[in-house]
């Protein structure tokens, strides 16, 4: 009987140990991620450290195309079948699906002091803590400086206007037979900064969105004219429909573009792809009648409310948001820090490339010059409604399907219709 | 000799055992089927045999169709029907609100109408040339030419490719630095930016679609040509009938049932065009190659405000167009069969 009892206890202990060990390995968190450069690899090394410290949690980094984050993730979230964590750029637009991490992080004050203004971008209507910025971005142009030197054309300096740049890049392209003098990412976000520079207000006196005004029309007219006179190629904006995003990064890297309006997130890619093949040079945002501003923005890592493991998600997010981990992440990825402590204290960027260093300094230095309107627009949770109406209708005017006046009227109708649908 | 007899006996026994096993297997169904037959009667049995297919059809066609119809009477951005706002026929009213139906710009939802007109243009050109080229190819491949089997395989090969692969291949050929422009430059011509021109974009959309699908329709027509009795041609030859007259008086009338199938199938596929052109041109330039299915996809899934109600209403309209085409096919087939 004693023997039997001993055997029973032994079997029970072994079974309990097995069950406990299997329970330890049971929590799997899925993180949806997209890459601009090598940030996925950097994130994976940090995740490996987290998993070593927390053997009961496994984190699967699901790397997907950026388009999937824009188009598939919202549907997954609406269906309640999204990942536990995701890297997103529609910061406010998806905010209804974010998890409030406040009960799950160890020190909410740290989060508020480190990510203060950006937390509002993620939760425009509340004080929730939902995630942190994996990068702060600023839109602005890159110039192929080597082409300017070869063409013996002086590059416009600080304070140069959009018109100054347009004139200069056409001269360079003509002299060297470069097919595309100027290219902009096909994105409403990219147009918004220059439109604000021209005086666009984006909101009316009551704070309601008001896309079309004199400032926006000034910039839209220029974009239209530049596409007609060949300063910009219709290949990029004109070759697809709707609000489809297209970048000219490949053309710029292949020295087919003199001036490329994009943003700080291209730095790691250009450092890697172009290297020292030519001098790719970030320049301050060109000026309009009202300001010299780009648009702020960025990508954030957010926790999602449909997760079945909020505590583990909180633990992971808390770990990733620690200053030493973010310093490593920003430093290795060459991203502008979205952590206030690191932004003021400085990050040691892992590059010796003078072009990359100059670009990082240029874009970081541009942050104080960003217009308040641009910050307000970035903080507006339905800003993509405005961006998409702008880009799709302006494109229809550029290819000749609408006049500019018809396009403006359609932009306003699109915004009104979509917001009405949203508010039903 | 004795060995051979033994072997035959063994194989007979094995075959007998296998047959017995098969018989027992089917007898397993006899009891439940007899039971069901007693309940539903002999006349109800066909429905029992159709049940698996009907269930599949219901689950994947009828139920989604009903859900889609229900969505078209709702608004808002919620995904679940229970959370959505009932709007009656508002979405249809929004879609169909036009000052002049011939001019999409005067319509409230101009992109829907542009999509509709683009689809109609595409379908007319694509179906016409698809049927024409398939017919010519089938006539050639039906003749005793050298390497006939090889050419049949060549023409059928694109059908086996994924539409996305087809579109990507042609996109790489047609881009500014693609093979075709390299060729044009090599012969002293200027590069053509095909995807910037609405006309070129539509041309290539039609061309690529024909290239991708022609093999399938050629095969149908080839089967029809081979089913025509050769003695008819022999008789015509003996009579000294010209080749043109043989084609118009013998080949074409006897090929008509196959041709009708090809036309209707091509029409339906043409109206449903999406994947190849979406990858090839992205619907551009502007909205020049944005077809009705892409409009539905954009409205429901890619816009920041996902308007499932409007997308559903548009897909019901598309469904009605396809229904009319199918009815036309049935009517034409019946008219042909009756006389």
Mean pLDDT of chain B: 91
* Residue A368 pLDDT grade (very low, low, confident, very high; cuts 50, 70, 90): confident
A238 touches chain B (CB under 8 A): yes
Which pLDDT belongs to residue A401?
93
A414, pLDDT greater than 70: yes
Nearest chain A residue to B176 by CA: give it. Answer: A235
In a domain, B59, yes or no: no
Q: How many domains does chain B have?
A: 2
On whether both B5 and B122 belong to a single domain, the answer is no
How far apart, in Å, are the Cα atoms of B56 and each of B44, B62, B63, B64? 19, 9, 10, 12
| Chain A residues in contact with B75 (beta carbon < 8 A) | 421, 424
B88, pLDDT greater than 60: yes
* Residue A125 pLDDT grade (very low, low, confident, very high; cuts 50, 70, 90): confident
In a domain, B218, yes or no: yes
B89, pLDDT greater than 90: yes
Give the percent of chain A with pLDDT over 70: 94
A67, pLDDT greater than 90: no
Beta bridge partners of A280: A144
Contact criterion met (CB < 8 Å) for A239 and B282? yes
A409 touches chain B (CB under 8 A): no
In a domain, B64, yes or no: no
Contact criterion met (CB < 8 Å) for B193 and A234? yes
> Residue B214 sits in a domain of what CATH number?
1.10.3720.10
- Of B338, B316, B271, B308, the C-alpha closest to B65 is B316
ipTM: 0.82
Which pLDDT belongs to residue A246?
87
Question: Which residues, other chains included, contact B316 with Cβ-Cβ below 8 Å and sequence gap of 6+?
Answer: B68, B69, B72, B92
On whether both B108 and B207 belong to a single domain, the answer is yes
Burial class (CB in 10 A: 0-12, 13-18, 19+), B270: buried
| Chain B residues in contact with A251 (beta carbon < 8 A) | none
Residues B185-202 have a mean pLDDT of 93
Contact criterion met (CB < 8 Å) for A239 and B303? no
Which pLDDT belongs to residue B245?
93
Long-range contacts of the stretch A102-107 (C-beta < 8 A, 24+): A102/A128, A102/A129, A103/A310, A103/A314, A104/A310, A104/A311, A104/A313, A104/A314, A104/A315, A104/A317, A104/A318, A105/A129, A105/A314, A105/A317, A105/A318, A105/A321, A106/A318
Q: Is the peptide bond before A87 cis (omega within 30 degrees of 0)?
A: no
Was domain A27-136+297-345 assigned CATH 3.50.30.30?
Answer: no
* Residue A88 pLDDT grade (very low, low, confident, very high; cuts 50, 70, 90): very high
Could you check whether A27-136+297-345 and A138-296+361-422 share the same CATH topology?
A: yes
User: Mean pLDDT: which of A75-84, A217-226, A346-355 is highest?
Assistant: A217-226
On whether both B242 and B128 belong to a single domain, the answer is yes
On whether both B202 and B107 belong to a single domain, the answer is yes
In a domain, B24, yes or no: yes
Residues A296-309 have a mean pLDDT of 94
B36, pLDDT greater than 70: yes
Give the percent of chain B with pLDDT over 90: 70
Listing DSSP states for B118-160 in one string gives HHHHHHHHHHHHHHHHHHHHHHHHTS--TTHHHHHHHHHHHHH
Question: Which residues, other chains included, contact A404 with Cβ-Cβ below 8 Å and sequence gap of 6+?
Answer: A217, A220, A221, A224, A397
In a domain, B81, yes or no: no
Which pLDDT belongs to residue A169?
97
Q: Closest approach of chain B CAs to the CA of A415, in angstroms?
A: 10
Residues A234-239 have a mean pLDDT of 85
Residues A109-128 have a mean pLDDT of 87
In a domain, B72, yes or no: no
Domain that holds residue B15: 1-41
B78 touches chain A (CB under 8 A): yes
| pLDDT tens readout for residues B279-318 | 999 998 999 999 999 999 999 988 888 999 999 999 999 9
A328 touches A344 (CB < 8 A):
no
Which pLDDT belongs to residue A1?
45
On whether both B166 and B291 belong to a single domain, the answer is yes
Which pLDDT belongs to residue A2?
47
B75, pLDDT greater than 90: yes
On whether both B23 and B146 belong to a single domain, the answer is no
Fold of A138-296+361-422: D-Maltodextrin-Binding Protein; domain 2 (3.40.190)
B178 touches chain A (CB under 8 A): no
CB pairs under 8 A between A and B: 106
Nearest CB partner across the interface for A71, out of B285, B302, B309: B302
Which pLDDT belongs to residue A10?
58
Domain boundaries, chain A: 27-136+297-345, 138-296+361-422
| Beta strand ranges found along A95-210 (DSSP E) | 131-144, 180-184
On whether both B107 and B37 belong to a single domain, the answer is no
On whether both B175 and B270 belong to a single domain, the answer is yes
Determine which of A9-18, A53-62, A168-177 has the lowest per-residue pLDDT on average.
A9-18
Q: What is the DSSP letter of A104?
A: G
On whether both B152 and B297 belong to a single domain, the answer is yes
A223 touches A216 (CB < 8 A):
no
In a domain, B57, yes or no: no
In a domain, B141, yes or no: yes
């Amino acid at each position: 009987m004693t023997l039997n009892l001993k055997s029973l206890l032994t079997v029970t202990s072994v079974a309990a140990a097995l069950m406990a060990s299997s329970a330890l390995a049971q929590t799997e968190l899925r993180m949806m991620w997209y890459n601009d450069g090598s940030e996925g690899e950097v994130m994976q090394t940090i995740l490996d450290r987290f998993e070593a410290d927390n053997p009961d949690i496994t984190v699967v980094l699901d790397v997907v195309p950026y388009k999937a984050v824009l188009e598939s993730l919202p549907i997954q979230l609406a269906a309640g079948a999204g990942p536990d964590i995701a890297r997103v750029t529609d910061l406010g637009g998806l905010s209804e699906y974010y998890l409030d991490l406040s009960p799950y992080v160890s020190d909410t004050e740290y989060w508020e002091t480190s990510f203060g203004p950006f937390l509002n971008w993620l939760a425009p209507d509340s004080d929730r803590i939902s995630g942190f910025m994996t990068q702060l971005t600023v839109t602005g142009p890159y110039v192929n400086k080597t082409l300017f030197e070869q063409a013996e054309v002086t590059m416009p300096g600080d304070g140069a206007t959009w018109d100054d740049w347009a004139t200069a890049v056409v001269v360079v392209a003509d002299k060297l037979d470069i097919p595309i003098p100027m290219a902009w990412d096909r994105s409403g976000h990219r147009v918004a900064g220059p439109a604000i520079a021209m005086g666009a207000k984006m909101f009316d006196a009551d704070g309601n969105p008001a896309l079309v005004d004199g400032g926006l029309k000034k910039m839209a007219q220029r974009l239209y004219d530049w596409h007609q006179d060949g300063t910009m190629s219709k290949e990029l904006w004109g070759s697809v429909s709707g609000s489809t995003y297209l970048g000219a990064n490949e053309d710029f890297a292949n020295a087919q573009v003199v001036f490329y309006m994009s943003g700080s997130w291209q730095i790691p890619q250009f450092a890697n792809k172009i290297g020292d093949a030519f001098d790719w040079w970030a320049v301050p945002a060109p000026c309009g009648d009202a300001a010299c501003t780009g648009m702020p923005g960025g990508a954030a890592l957010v926790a999602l409310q449909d997760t079945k493991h909020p505590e583990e998600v909180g633990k992971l997010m808390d770990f990733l948001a620690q200053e030493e981990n973010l310093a490593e992440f920003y430093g290795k990825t060459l991203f502008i820090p979205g952590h206030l402590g690191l932004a003021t204290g400085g990050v040691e960027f892992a590059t010796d490339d003078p072009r990359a260093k100059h670009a990082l300094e240029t874009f970081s230095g541009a942050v104080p010059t960003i217009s308040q309107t641009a910050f307000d627009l970035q903080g507006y949770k339905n800003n993509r409604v405005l961006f998409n109406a702008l880009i799709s209708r302006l494109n229809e005017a550029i290819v000749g399907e609408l006049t500019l006046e018809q396009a403006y009227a359609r932009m306003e109708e699109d915004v009104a219709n979509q917001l009405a649908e949203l508010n039903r | 000799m004795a060995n051979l007899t033994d072997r035959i006996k063994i194989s007979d026994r094995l075959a007998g055992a296998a047959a017995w096993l098969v018989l027992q297997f089917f007898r397993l169904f006899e009891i439940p089927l007899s039971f069901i037959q007693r309940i539903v009667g002999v006349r109800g049995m066909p429905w029992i045999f159709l049940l698996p297919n009907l269930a599949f059809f219901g689950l994947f066609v009828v139920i989604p169709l009903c859900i889609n119809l229900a969505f078209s009477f709702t608004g808002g951005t919620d995904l679940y029907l229970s959370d959505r706002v009932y709007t009656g026929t508002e979405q249809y009213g929004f879609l169909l609100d036009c000052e002049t139906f011939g001019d999409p710009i005067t319509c409230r939802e101009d992109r829907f109408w542009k999509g509709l007109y683009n689809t109609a243009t595409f379908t007319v050109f694509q179906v016409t040339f698809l049927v024409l080229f398939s017919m010519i190819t089938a006539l050639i491949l039906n003749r005793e030419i050298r390497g006939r089997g090889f050419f049949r395989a060549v023409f059928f090969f694109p059908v086996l490719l994924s539409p996305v692969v087809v579109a990507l291949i042609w996109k790489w050929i047609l881009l500014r630095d693609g093979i075709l422009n390299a060729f044009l430059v090599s012969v002293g011509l200027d590069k053509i930016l095909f995807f910037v021109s609405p006309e070129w974009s539509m041309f290539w959309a039609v061309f690529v679609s024909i290239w991708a699908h022609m093999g399938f329709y050629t095969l149908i027509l080839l089967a029809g040509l081979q089913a025509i009795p050769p003695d008819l041609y022999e008789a015509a030859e003996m009579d000294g009938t010209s080749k043109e007259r043989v084609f118009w008086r013998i080949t074409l009338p006897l090929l008509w049932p196959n041709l009708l199938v090809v036309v209707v199938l091509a029409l339906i596929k043409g109206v449903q065009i999406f994947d190849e052109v979406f990858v090839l041109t992205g619907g551009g330039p502007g909205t020049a190659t944005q077809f009705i299915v892409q409009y539905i996809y954009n409205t429901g899934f890619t816009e920041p405000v996902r308007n499932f109600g409007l997308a559903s209403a548009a897909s019901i309209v598309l469904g009605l167009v396809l229904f009319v085409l199918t009815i036309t096919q049935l009517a034409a087939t019946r008219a042909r069969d009756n006389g």
